[in-house]
């Protein structure tokens, strides 16, 4: 099958989970001997075209810009459309698969111009991310509805997202397939100098590393972890906190960390490389995912594969990934007491910790492989093409 | 102080971050597309003094880079800055 994946982010242009999802899916589809092409936006220092592990990657320059985000997004869609047309001359795609609303205009245009079937993965919704609060967010909401309407089939990564998409956009549940995210568990099967890594991030040999990985934006709930620092450290004086990621809230969160009176316990790293992230994750004593909105929560899977116990809010897709008291520990979103309780639960009982880690590793290997995701996605494509 | 940080109202998007997004969206994301302060002022409709303040701050944080070409300083969003901007939109 000749497949075009259209996404505004693709490594190393990594924003959230979409880049990792598209890379994992593309590689797995290529391993299944399909012709896979990714059309995405450019990134400084990278060529306009390259082949990455059997995937043809086109990186598109947006030659004309505009300060307004939505205007810019329509402009880059124009250039993506042009790039799609060029790529199609070479590949003659069977299917086009868009990821989120940002690339919907070019994907939909392509569908109509060339009469190609369109599949859309909805990774999240504006309604869930920020709520509908200004004209821009209403427009994004409209674009998401439009993408769902135009797509022949919609893929979501959790039942929670299926409910959100069907409920909010009035989409028939028959049109929506749930295919979970996955990870490359192999990535975590590397030797790590745990103590050396901890020391590099300011965590001593006798101290416990509490890790957060994600964007620094309200929906991730990281402020609840930072505000819980005094409660956690009262129970676990050896706790240190490493906050990995970037986002517009960083300044506010650093201020919040100052307000705890225990700023010395909290380290913000900003964006770090994939290799460093693997090493850091493997070196953590616990990972906290305090999200208030989470369509899937791929970071939870990464911790599970790395052999790190996970403490996560019971929201959205996280509630489907983790089994409480078996593969992780659930906490209430927005509750400082609950965050502190969860971290203590895991760190104060080594036997319990080991049991959680062992179960989580098995669950990840059995349920969340990219090969499974690729095969399920191919089944969706076959249905769309009338071959299923 | 009780040791518990106060519940704070949701923060507003910082102005310098809005500015960084604008610079990103107009396409100043590599040296060859770098813009002078005057050009940035035209694109963003902001006063030069305000712009200078943002540029100094963002450069200090590593989100913007600059170079001098033919006597004019030109500014563009760094890779770290691009990643920072993208966190808003995903």
- Check pLDDT > 90 for residue B87: no
- Spatial distance between the Cα atoms of A311 and A217, rounded to a whole number of angstroms: 19
CB contact under 8 A, A67 and B44: yes
Cα nearest neighbour of B80 on chain A = A271
Residues of B in contact with A63 (CB under 8 A): 27
Nearest to A261 among B3, B21, B27 (CB): B3
User: Which residues in chain B are contacts of A252 at CB distance < 8 A?
Assistant: 8, 11
Whether A44 sits inside 8 A of B1 (CB atoms) is no
What digits encode the pLDDT tens for the residues A297-328? Answer: 899 999 999 999 999 999 999 999 999 999 99
A270 with B80: Cβ contact below 8 A: yes
Which site among B17, B87, B88 would you substitute to test the A interface, given the most A Cβ atoms closer than 10 Å to its Cβ?
B87
pLDDT at site B90: 66
The percent of residues above 90 in pLDDT, for chain B, comes to 68
| Cβ count near B15 (within 10 Å) | 12
CB of A214 within 8 Å of a chain B CB? The answer is no
B17 touches chain A (CB under 8 A): yes
Binning pLDDT at 50, 70 and 90, where does residue B10 land?
low
Distance from CA of A278 to the nearest CA of B (A): 19
Among A66, A71, A259, the residue with its CB nearest the CB of B5 is A259
Residue range B15-89, CATH number:
1.10.10.10
Q: Which domains does chain A have, with CATH numbers?
A: 2-182+369-384 (3.40.50.2000), 185-367 (3.40.50.2000)
* Residue of A44, A265, A336 to mutate when probing chain B, most B C-beta within 10 A: A44
Residue A271 at interface with chain B, using a CB cutoff of 8 Å: yes
Token pair 């103590």: residue: A195
Contacts of B83 in chain A (CB under 8 A): 14-15, 246, 271
Interval B13-29: pLDDT, tens: 888 999 999 999 999 99
Flag whether residue A252 sits within 8 Å of chain B, measured between CB atoms. yes
Q: Is A193 or B90 the better-scoring residue by pLDDT?
A: A193
Record: contact B90-A66, CB cut-off 8 A: no
The reported pTM is 0.90
Binary contact (A271, B25; C-beta < 8 A): no
Give the number of beta-carbon pairs within 8 Å between A and B: 92
Going from N- to C-terminal start, the domains of chain B cover 15-89
CB contact under 8 A, A62 and B22: no
Q: Could you read off the pLDDT of A42-51 as tens digits, one per residue?
A: 999 999 999 9
Asked whether this complex has an ipTM greater than 0.95, the answer is no
The answer on pLDDT for A185 being more than 90 is: no
Q: Do A252 and B11 touch (CB under 8 A)?
A: yes
User: Would you state the pLDDT for residue A367?
Assistant: 85
- pLDDT 10s digits, B50-62: 999 999 999 999 9
Residue A104 forms contact with B (CB below 8 Å): no
Q: Can you give chain A as a three-state secondary structure string? A: CEEEEECCCECCECCCHHHHHHHHHHHHHHHCCCEEEEEEECCCCCCCEEEECCEEEEEECCCCCCCCHHHHHHHHHHHHHHHHHHHHHHHCCCEEEEECHHHHHHHHHHHHHHCCCEEEECCCCHHHHCCCCCHHHHHHHHHHHHHHHHCCEEEECCHHHHHHHHHHHCCCHHHEEECCCCCCHHHHCCCCCHHHHHHHCCCCCCCEEEEEECCCCHHHCHHHHHHCHHHHHHHCCCEEEEEECCCCCHHHHHHHHHHCCCHHHEEEEECCCHHHHHHHHHHCCEEEECCCCCCCCHHHHHHHHCCCCEEEECCCCHHHHCCECCCEEEECCCCHHHHHHHHHHHHCCHHHHHHHHHHHHHHHHHHCCHHHHHHHHHHHHHHHCCCC
Tell me the per-residue pLDDT of A98-123, one tens digit each, with 9 for 90 and over.
Answer: 999 999 999 999 999 999 999 999 99
When pLDDT is cut at 50, 70 and 90, the band that residue A129 belongs to is: confident
pLDDT mean over A341-353? 97
Average pLDDT, chain A: 95
């Amino acid at each position: 099958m000749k497949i075009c994946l259209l996404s505004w982010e693709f490594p190393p242009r990594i924003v959230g989970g979409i880049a990792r999802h598209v890379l994992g899916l593309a590689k797995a589809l290529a391993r299944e001997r399909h012709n896979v092409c990714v059309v995405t936006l450019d990134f400084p220092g990278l060529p306009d075209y390259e082949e990455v592990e059997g995937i043809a990657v086109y990186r598109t320059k947006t030659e004309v810009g505009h300060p307004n985000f939505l205007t810019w997004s329509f402009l880059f869609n124009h250039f993506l459309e042009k790039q799609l047309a060029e790529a199609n001359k070479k590949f003659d795609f069977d299917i086009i698969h868009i990821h989120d609303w940002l690339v919907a205009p070019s994907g939909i245009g392509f569908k109509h111009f060339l009469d190609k079937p369109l599949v859309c993965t909805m990774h999240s919704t504006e309604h869930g991310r920020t709520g509908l609060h200004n004209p821009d967010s209403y427009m994004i909401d409209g674009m998401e509805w439009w993408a769902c309407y135009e797509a022949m089939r919609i893929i979501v990564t959790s039942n929670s997202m299926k409910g959100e998409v069907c409920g909010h956009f009035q989409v028939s549940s028959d049109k929506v397939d749930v295919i979970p995210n996955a990870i490359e568990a192999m990535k975590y099967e590397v030797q790590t100098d745990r103590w050396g890594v901890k020391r590099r991030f300011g965590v001593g040999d006798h101290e416990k590393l509490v890790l957060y990985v994600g964007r620094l934006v309200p929906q991730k709930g990281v402020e609840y972890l930072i505000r819980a620092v005094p409660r956690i450290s009262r129970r676990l004086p050896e706790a240190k906190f490493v906050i990995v990621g970037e986002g517009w809230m960083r300044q506010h969160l650093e201020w919040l960390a100052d307000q705890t009176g225990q700023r010395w316990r909290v380290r913000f790293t900003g964006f770090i490389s994939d290799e460093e992230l693997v090493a850091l994750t493997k070196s953590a004593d616990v990972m906290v995912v305090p999200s208030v909105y989470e369509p899937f929560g791929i970071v939870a899977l990464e911790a599970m594969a790395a052999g790190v116990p996970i403490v996560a809010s019971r929201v959205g897709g996280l509630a489907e990934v983790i089994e409480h008291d078996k593969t992780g520990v659930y906490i209430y979103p927005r509750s400082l007491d609950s965050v502190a309780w969860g971290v203590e639960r895991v760190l104060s009982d080594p036997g319990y910790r080991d049991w959680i880690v062992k179960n989580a590793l098995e669950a990840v290997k059995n349920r969340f492989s990219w090969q499974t995701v690729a095969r399920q996605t191919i089944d969706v494509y076959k249905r769309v093409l009338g071959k299923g | 102080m009780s040791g518990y940080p106060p519940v704070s109202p949701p923060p507003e998007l910082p102005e310098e971050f809005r500015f960084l997004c604008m610079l990103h969206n107009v396409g100043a994301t590599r040296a060859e597309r770098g813009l002078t302060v005057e050009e940035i002022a035209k694109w963003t409709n902001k006063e030069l003094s305000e712009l200078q303040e943002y540029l100094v701050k963002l450069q200090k944080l590593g989100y913007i880079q600059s170079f001098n070409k033919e006597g004019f300083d030109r500014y563009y969003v760094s890779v770290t800055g691009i990643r920072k901007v993208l966190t808003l939109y995903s």
